[in-house]
């Protein structure tokens, strides 16, 4: 067992340090246009975070130097994508850009039918409404906020069937996004297959810290669900990032291209929802993809009500064109290697500095373990919220709390939820920041770490009723 762990560790480190046959993950692009950002002084940042109630969501983006709040819609489009914007065919019906998008989805993902939506949650809404009945159960490899909400609004109940390792920030399992087949089969036996409209399978599981699922696990899941006649709906928001991790760490896939692996993943599923603001690098957009003609017909009917006609679904023609091009770029091996390589580079450096980070490093961000970073602060003093504001004050780097503030309160007792994971997320947008920026982030986290004993924590002085992490305000404890 110990041997296994060392081997797994070695496997991860190999991914991070010695990319196959290549010297480095260096960016496969050069910079043609820049967006100036402004450096601020420590005094300015101190004032800005106080005005923002020590909540990074309430900062103005002008006051931020390096913005690692999210990778959603914040990536840099290529010159080709921008050229695609000028080719927008803004016809109300039958835009040529829709057909280009449909063709890209069929080619790279292999799904037959496409319904465009304004973003990922639009697709989640439609699939939930057409597949879930009152009283149904939807097993998934960890929840995502909007996905779970739409399942519940449609009358369903989400059941977490991810492996236990996913909940442990120090466990080095290389595929923490895997589905626990025993948990899944136990649920099927308990509630009956007819109460399970589909399994919600996410690639590069966001809430677990960007952790991949293996193809071995997906194949086994497919076998099990087929036995019971249950389809798999794929949250494919970060499928290319997951495919890259399979190529690096799963036996039998080292010589396959990311493009081939993406296709193999999709072929094991029956449909997918996509937030195109992530992998395919557009600022807004998404889609629902399906293989079943009858379901597609229902989805196409419903998109007209909530999003727009079935050949634009809430997107402008130009946005569909940029998305079609972004899909092709997202699976290019040089691109994905540099994208994940940059995240792992920052993660490896912080690990080597002795900073407590969630292991293995995920594909879209580095997650600081605030419980171990600030062990002298109880969760009542909001360690992750405190840490995010201290990093901002130190350098102007904006991160996000994922801990007790995000978890909210128990509806019955009114007490805080005290989640296992008390994290600060440093999320890296695609193609936006350079290695020098990563060094600034590293130095800043290190500087805060060296002075961690002096950090006193926060108290909450304003708490909104719903999703409090967006708007809550805090005061520094003295
Ligand atoms: C962002 C995201 C969504 C929701 O997509 P939006 O485009 O923000 O509506 C769904 N699932 C995952 C895994 C995501 O990261």
Q: What local confidence, expressed as pLDDT, does residue 13 receive?
A: 43
Residue 135: the pLDDT is: 97
Q: What pLDDT does residue 4 have?
A: 44
H helix or E strand, kind and range, residue 350: helix 333-352
pLDDT over 90 at 22, yes or no = no
Strand partners, 366: 426
CA of 394 to the centre of ligand 1 (A): 30
Cβ < 6 Å from ligand 1: which residues? 72, 119-121, 144, 146-147, 202, 206, 235, 237, 275, 277-278, 286
Ligand 1 atom at minimal distance to the Cα of residue 204: 13
How many angstroms is it from 40 CA to the middle of ligand 1? 32
What are the structure tokens assigned to 313, written together?
Answer: 């679904």
β-bridge mates for residue 458, sequence order: 476
Interacting residues of 383 by C-beta distance below 8 A, sequence separation 6+:
370, 371, 373, 374, 377, 403, 422, 457
Nearest residue CA, atom 4 of ligand 1? 120
Contact status, residue 55 vs residue 388, Cβ threshold 8 Å? no
Share of the chain above pLDDT 70, in %: 95
Q: How far is the centre of ligand 1, averaged over its atoms, from the C-alpha of 103 (Å)?
A: 23
- pLDDT band of residue 466 (cuts 50, 70, 90) is confident
Pick the CATH number of 79-330 from 3.30.360.10, 3.40.640.10, 3.40.50.300, 3.20.10.10: 3.40.640.10
Q: Where exactly are the structural domains of the chain? A: 5-64+333-476, 79-330
Q: Atom 5 (ligand 1): residue with closest C-alpha?
A: 120
Residue 11: pLDDT over 60? no
The pTM score is: 0.92
Tokens representing 75 are 């990536």
Ligand 1 geometric centre to CA of 352 (Å): 31
User: Ligand 1, atom 14: nearest CA belongs to which residue?
Assistant: 237
Judge: domain 5-64+333-476, CATH 3.90.1150.10: yes
Residue 478 confidence (pLDDT): 87
Least confident of 67-76, 424-433, 462-471: 462-471
Q: Which residue has the higher pLDDT, 467 or 382?
A: 382
User: From atom 10 of ligand 1, which residue's Cα is the shortest distance away?
Assistant: 120
Q: How many CB atoms lie within 10 A of CB 157?
A: 15
Ligand 1 nearest atom to the CA of residue 286, by list position = 7
Q: Which of 74, 117, 123, 146 to mutate to test the pocket of ligand 1 (most atoms within 8 A of CB)?
A: 146
Q: Check pLDDT > 60 for residue 5.
A: no
**How much is the pLDDT for 408?**
85
Ligand 1 atom nearest to 205, measured from its CA: 13
* pLDDT tier for residue 24 given thresholds of 50, 70 and 90: confident
Range with lowest mean pLDDT among 14-23, 42-51, 105-114, 266-275? 14-23
Question: Of the residues 128, 278, 281, 428, which should be mutated to test ligand 1's pocket, given the most ligand atoms within 8 Å of the CB?
Answer: 278
Distance 350 CA to ligand 1 centre (A): 27
Distance 415 CA to ligand 1 centre (A): 28
Going by their DSSP bridges, the two strands 286-290 and 113-117 should be labelled as antiparallel
Q: DSSP assignment of 217-250, as one string? A: HHHHHHHHHHHHT--EEEE-TTHHHHHHHHHHHS
- Cα separation, 360 vs 233, whole angstroms: 26
* Ligand 1, atom nearest to 202 Cα: 13
How crowded is residue 290: how many other Cβ atoms within 10 Å of its Cβ? Answer: 25
How does pLDDT run across 328-380, given as a tens digit for each residue? 999 999 999 999 999 999 999 999 999 999 999 999 999 999 999 999 999 99
Question: pLDDT, tens digit, for every residue of 171-211?
Answer: 999 999 999 999 999 999 999 999 999 999 999 998 888 99
- Nearest CA, atom 1, ligand 1: 275
Chain centroid offset of residue 144 CA: 9
Vertex 246: Cα angle to 207 and 23 (nearest 5): 110
Burial 193-217 (b: 16+ CB within 10 A, else e): eebbbbbbbbbbbbbbbbbbbbbeb
Lowest mean pLDDT among 132-136, 216-220, 244-248, 406-410: 406-410
Secondary structure E strands in 97-192: 113-117, 137-140, 157-160
Residue 297 predicted with pLDDT over 60: yes
Q: What share of the chain is helix, strand, coil (3-state, %, to 5)?
A: 45, 15, 40
Distance 231 CA to ligand 1 centre (A): 21
Q: Which of 48, 54, 40, 58 is nearest to 395 (CA)?
A: 40
| Lowest-pLDDT range of 23-37, 160-174, 181-195, 408-422 | 408-422
Number of the ligand 1 atom closest to the C-alpha atom of 122: 9
Residue whose C-alpha is closest to residue 274's, from 343, 327, 197, 207: 327
Q: Which residues are catalytic?
A: 92, 144-145, 235, 278, 402, 469
Assess contact for 173 and 145: CB atoms under 8 A: no
């Amino acid at each position: 067992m110990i041997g296994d762990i060392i081997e797994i560790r070695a496997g991860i480190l190999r991914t991070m340090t010695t990319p196959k046959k290549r010297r480095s993950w260096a960016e496969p692009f050069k910079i043609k246009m820049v967006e100036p950002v402004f450096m601020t002084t420590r005094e300015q940042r101190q004032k800005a975070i106080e005005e923002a109630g020590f909540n990074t969501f309430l900062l103005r983006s002008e006051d931020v130097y390096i913005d690692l709040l999210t990778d959603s819609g914040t990536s840099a489009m290529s010159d080709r994508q921008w050229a695609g914007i000028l080719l927008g065919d803004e016809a109300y019906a039958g835009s040529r850009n829709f057909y280009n998008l449909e063709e890209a989805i069929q080619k790279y993902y292999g799904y037959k039918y496409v319904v465009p939506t304004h973003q990922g949650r639009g697709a989640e809404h439609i699939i939930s409404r057409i597949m879930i009945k009152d009283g149904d159960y939807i097993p998934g490899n960890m929840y995502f906020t909007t996905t779970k909400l739409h399942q519940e609004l449609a009358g369903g109940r989400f059941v977490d069937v991810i492996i236990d390792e996913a909940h442990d920030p120090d466990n080095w399992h290389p595929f923490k996004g895997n589905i626990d087949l025993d948990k899944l089969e136990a649920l099927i036996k308990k509630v009956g297959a007819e109460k399970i409209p589909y399994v919600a399978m996410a690639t590069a599981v966001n809430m677990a810290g960007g952790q991949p699922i293996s193809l071995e696990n997906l194949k086994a899941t497919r076998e099990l669900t087929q036995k019971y006649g249950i389809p798999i709906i794929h949250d494919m928001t970060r499928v290319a990032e997951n495919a890259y991790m399979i190529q690096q760490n799963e036996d039998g896939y080292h010589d396959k291209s990311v493009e081939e692996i993406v296709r193999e993943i999709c072929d094991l599923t029956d449909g997918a929802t996509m937030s195109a603001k992530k992998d395919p690098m557009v600022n807004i957009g998404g889609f629902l993809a399906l293989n079943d003609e009858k379901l597609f017909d229902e989805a196409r009917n419903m998109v007209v009500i909530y999003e727009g006609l079935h050949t634009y679904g809430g997107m402008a023609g130009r946005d569909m064109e940029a998305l079609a091009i972004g899909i092709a770029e997202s699976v290019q091996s040089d691109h994905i290697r540099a994208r994940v390589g940059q995240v792992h580079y920052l993660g490896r450096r912080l690990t080597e500095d002795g900073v407590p980070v969630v292991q293995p490093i995920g594909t879209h961000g580095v997650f600081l373990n605030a419980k171990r970073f600030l062990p002298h602060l109880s969760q009542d003093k909001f360690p992750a919220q405190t840490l995010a504001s201290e990093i901002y004050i130190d350098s102007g780097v904006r991160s996000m709390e994922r801990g007790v503030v995000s978890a909210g309160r128990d509806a019955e007792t009114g007490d805080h939820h005290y989640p296992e994971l008390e994290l600060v997320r440093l999320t890296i947008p695609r193609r936006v920041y350079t290695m020098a920026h990563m060094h600034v982030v590293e130095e800043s986290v290190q500087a805060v770490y060296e002075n961690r004993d002096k950090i006193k924590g926060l108290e909450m002085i304003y708490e909104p009723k719903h999703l409090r992490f967006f708007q809550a305000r805090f005061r520094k404890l003295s």
